[in-house]
Amino acid sequence: MNSVPFYSLDYVSDSLGSELSSAFDAVQKSGWFIRGRFCQQFETAFAGYCGVKHGVGVGNGLDALTLMLRAEIELGRLKKGDEVLVPANTFIATILGITSAGLVPVLVEPDETTFNLDPSRLAAACTAKTKAIMVVHLYGRLAAMNQICAFAKERNLRVFEDAAQAHGAELSTIGTIFAESGKAQMRAGAFGDAAAFSFYPTKNLGALGDAGMVVTDDDELAKVVRALGNYGSAEKYVNRYQGVNSRLDELQAALLLKKLPQLDCWNQRRREIAARYIAEIKNPAVILPKTATADHVFHIFAVRAESAAARVQLQQFLQARGVESMVHYPIPPHLQEAYCNEPWAENVHLPITEALAKQELSLPMGPYLTDAQVAQVIEAVNAFNPNAGF
Ligand SMILES: *Cc1c(COP(=O)(O)O)cnc(C)c1O
């Protein structure tokens, strides 16, 4: 029996190998390796792709989150100790970005059908200290941006996006809240005051190493993020802020420039695979995501088992049929040891988040999958019966 790996990046070298090699040669010959023309070109190209003015390349996605928030503090728009509403079931980096900027996460339960922030719970989570919302487009599905941004406007809250899993995800119905922007198309990264992207290798758009970017329409914010990533300096040897070293290097930028034109096509293949999973997986013991529209770029194809025990069974059953799967994520941030003494993590009641952590299972997803592999996954999932031994 052939096995279906959870992910493989072979499709990148198979389809673009020689272009990537030529990008490497071009950087090597240029003799300039940090913040040069490739970085500038990729910043312009990716910001343009997202539909915003500025892109600032940084070292990775976590730095993009942290520096975006630190820049807001330097600009006096947020201050240390301010509360940020954030989905409780996100990847740890979202929360690390908030806490390392000196802000306080307020964990909000997700909608259990979308795994994304539930806008109906925002009002109850607000206090006098709440100053911002950090949205996460989890698994590649756009959060409910029309509702969330309308709520934020009403309450005068800043909005930031953790778009690390959602390169290219596009809003299908542009709400009145965005009407004055005049944009005909709105992609992840264009909704809030600023957005953080990661180009970790397995993301929908990935580098061949670590890389990240902050995108924003805000001139001031872009300048401060750029300075913060360069020792806090906009002018050589003049340090306005206590910065860090977090820059997008030329090599990764040149490689990403070659990959960006393929992103829509890769996302389209992910949606095709998702549409087949949704149409052809018919097993009452496996709860499927709902749509395969442009809102969702299926960074991860997340299904839900009926219980913690059923998930263990399902994962073992698939493994026995050669289908790899993974859990995203087994321990939610508030239950991590790293945050065990934080008041915001201790006195919380998050039953939906905790249930999803026990029941979520991710099926193989990516442009690397062949039709035969997709069929193998579907057959294996359909054959699963939680009540039968195997
Ligand atoms: C990957 C990821 C990050 C962090 O990106 P890195 O480049 O790995 O630092 C942040 N948030 C989410 C939701 C992610 O999936």
140-179 residue pLDDT tens: 999 999 999 999 999 999 999 999 999 999 998 899 899 8
Q: Which atom of ligand 1 is nearest to the CA of 65?
A: 10
- Three-state secondary structure call for residue 161: strand
* Separation in Å, CA 202 to CA 181, 268, 296, 323: 32, 16, 17, 18
- Any atom of ligand 1 within 6 Å of the Cβ of 164: yes
Distance (Å) from CA 361 to ligand 1 centroid: 19
Distance (Å) from CA 117 to ligand 1 centroid: 17
User: Hey, whose CA ends up nearest to atom 2 of ligand 1?
Assistant: 164
Q: Which atom of ligand 1 is nearest to the CA of 136?
A: 13
Contact 47, 57 (CB under 8 A): no
What is the structure's pLDDT at 389? Answer: 57
What is the structure's pLDDT at 387? Answer: 82
All residue ranges of the chain with pLDDT < 70 are 389-390
What is the structure's pLDDT at 91? Answer: 98
- Any atom of ligand 1 within 6 Å of the Cβ of 61: yes
d(CA 378, CA 375): 5
What is the structure's pLDDT at 70? Answer: 98
Strands 194-198 and 212-216: antiparallel
User: Hey, whose CA ends up nearest to atom 14 of ligand 1?
Assistant: 164
What is the structure's pLDDT at 74? Answer: 98
Q: Which atom of ligand 1 is nearest to the CA of 210?
A: 7
Distance (Å) from CA 201 to ligand 1 centroid: 11
d(CA 175, CA 323): 40
- Three-state secondary structure call for residue 380: helix
d(CA 188, CA 298): 13
Rounded to 5 degrees, what are φ and ψ at 289?
Answer: -70, 160
Please name the amino acid found at residue 289.
Answer: P
What is the structure's pLDDT at 147? Answer: 97
Distance (Å) from CA 353 to ligand 1 centroid: 19
What is the structure's pLDDT at 172? Answer: 87
Ramachandran region, residue 78 (left: φ > 0; alpha: ψ -120 to 50; beta: rest): beta
What is the structure's pLDDT at 73? Answer: 98
What is the structure's pLDDT at 225? Answer: 98
- Any atom of ligand 1 within 6 Å of the Cβ of 62: yes
Distance (Å) from CA 93 to ligand 1 centroid: 6
What is the structure's pLDDT at 371? Answer: 98
- Any atom of ligand 1 within 6 Å of the Cβ of 91: yes
- The model's pTM: 0.97
What angle in degrees, to the nearest 10, is found between the helix axes of 61-74 and 219-228? Answer: 120
As given in the structure block, the two tokens for residue 282 are: 């018919």
As given in the structure block, the two tokens for residue 346 are: 């201790």
- Any atom of ligand 1 within 6 Å of the Cβ of 165: yes
* Residues whose CB is less than 8 angstroms from the CB of residue 368 and which lie 6 or more positions away in sequence, other chains included: 5, 7, 8, 9, 10, 11
Q: Which atom of ligand 1 is nearest to the CA of 299?
A: 15
Side-chain-side CA neighbours of 238 within 13 Å: the count stands at 3
- Three-state secondary structure call for residue 85: strand
User: Hey, whose CA ends up nearest to atom 12 of ligand 1?
Assistant: 164
